[in-house]
Amino acid sequence: MIKDLYLAAGCFWGTEHFFKQINGVTFTQVGFANGNTPNPTYKEVYTDTTGYAETVHLQYDPLKVSLSFLLQMYFKAIDPTSLNKQGEDQGTRYRTGIYYVDPYDLPFINLAMAEEAKKYGLPLCVEVMPLQNFYSAEEYHQDYLVKNPDGYCHLPIALFQYARNNQDTLTLNKSQQYQLLIKQFTALAAGETDTLALMANAAALIHETFHFWWTGYYRVVGDELVLGPFQGPVACMHIGFGKGVCGTSWKEDRTLLVPDVEAFPGHIACSAASRSEIVVPIHKNNQVVAVLDIDSQHLSTFDDCDQYYLQTLVQLLP
């Protein structure tokens, strides 16, 4: 599962080279994003009349590097309080922006923006918008600093070394933990047909591995979710269809990653200690029959790595 992200950070030559140093980034391409004219050339964009921003298209493997980590590194490479200027490069084409294609990424982007804004005590000059359009720049711009090692770059050379030395090792470790957990559960499930028993063991495995605040299941019974096997403190016993994070996951039949539960419309506060949450629907005969619900006491605990492996895990239930 490869994901896409588009980042405007001033001159795209240095920005592309910076992100190429990060393990988990599988593809980079420089170009022009969110402008007003079709098929712009570099010379046209340079006039500052097309509305485009110099932008780097990243593709990354969320099992190796998280969106949150990429955004942390992004803020290392820009001055987020500078409007239309990075380094000595000035103009609207050099504005900063985070352009997303997956709407489920937006809560994580907003959280990263809020955390960064706290450092400055004033609003940031970074656009956060859906990607409207993107055109690749001419070939001589691609991998410019690989082709021209002594070429112009607004970023300090030390920043490239910083990117190489600061990899998202936490996500790598988490991926490995999930892989081991799934192997353990597969062994436990061999020959077992009782779904409730397997739910109980899966909840215990997840809880013991990651020490989340609450790990458990809600089963579809009629028009509501009813509490199933779980690990953690006392929980809500009944949740209505479309209510809270669990009921919404059931209604919309999709995994929900919630970095801040207080910001989720209609959140049901079974425990004031819960800060972030992931809910994964479980299917049988193409119908949602239950959800796996995991809560954390910390903000923004869950990411694409959790989603991938937890979706894999629930598919192993009979």
3-14, pLDDT tens digit by residue?
Answer: 999 999 999 999
The tokens describing 136, both together, are: 């690749």
**Residue extents of the structural domains in the chain:** 3-167, 170-314
Share of residues in the chain with pLDDT > 70 (%) = 98
> Which residues does residue 240 pair with via DSSP β-bridges, in sequence order?
224
The mean per-residue pLDDT over the stretch 257-267 comes to 93
CA 252: distance to chain centroid? 20
At 81 the pLDDT is 97
At 170 the pLDDT is 46
Q: Judge whether residue 220 has pLDDT over 90.
A: yes
Q: Judge whether residue 65 has pLDDT over 90.
A: no
Say yes or no: do domains 3-167 and 170-314 share a fold.
no
At 237 the pLDDT is 96
At 11 the pLDDT is 97
- Name the helix (H) or strand (E) containing 32: strand 25-33
The mean per-residue pLDDT over the stretch 147-153 comes to 92
- CATH number for the domain running over 170-314: 3.30.450.40
The mean per-residue pLDDT over the stretch 219-232 comes to 97
The tokens describing 251, both together, are: 């209604």
Which of 67-71, 113-117, 149-153, 288-292 has the largest mean confidence?
A: 288-292
At 167 the pLDDT is 72
* Backbone angle region of 285, left / alpha / beta, with phi > 0 → left and psi within -120 to 50 → alpha: left
Q: Is 83 helix (H, G, I), strand (E, B) or coil?
A: coil
> Which residues does residue 27 pair with via DSSP β-bridges, in sequence order?
59
* Backbone angle region of 119, left / alpha / beta, with phi > 0 → left and psi within -120 to 50 → alpha: alpha
Picking from 242, 227, 237, the residue whose alpha carbon sits closest to that of residue 292 is 227
Active site residues: 11
* Average pLDDT of the residues of the chain: 93
SS3 for 87-151, per residue?
A: CCEECHHHCEEEEECCHHHHHHHHHHHHHHHHHHCCCCCEEEEECCCEEECCHHHCCHHHHCCCC
Q: Judge whether residue 268 has pLDDT over 50.
A: yes
How far apart, in whole angstroms, are the C-alpha atoms of residue 227 and residue 237? 5
For residue 68, give the DSSP letter. H
The mean per-residue pLDDT over the stretch 272-278 comes to 92
CA distances from 178 to 64, 170, 280 (A): 13, 12, 15
> Which residues does residue 256 pair with via DSSP β-bridges, in sequence order?
279
Residue 77, exposed/middle/buried by CB under 10 A (0-12, 13-18, 19+)? Answer: buried
The mean per-residue pLDDT over the stretch 196-209 comes to 92
Q: Judge whether residue 217 has pLDDT over 80.
A: yes
For residue 10, give the DSSP letter. S
At 64 the pLDDT is 81
Q: Which of the four pLDDT bands, split at 50, 70 and 90, describes residue 169?
A: low
Q: Which of the four pLDDT bands, split at 50, 70 and 90, describes residue 108?
A: confident
Q: Judge whether residue 172 has pLDDT over 80.
A: no
The mean per-residue pLDDT over the stretch 250-271 comes to 92
**What's domain 3-167's architecture?**
2-Layer Sandwich (3.30)
Share of residues in the chain with pLDDT > 90 (%) = 77
Q: Which of the four pLDDT bands, split at 50, 70 and 90, describes residue 95?
A: very high
How far apart, in whole angstroms, are the C-alpha atoms of residue 219 and residue 196? 10
More confident residue, 33 or 266: 33
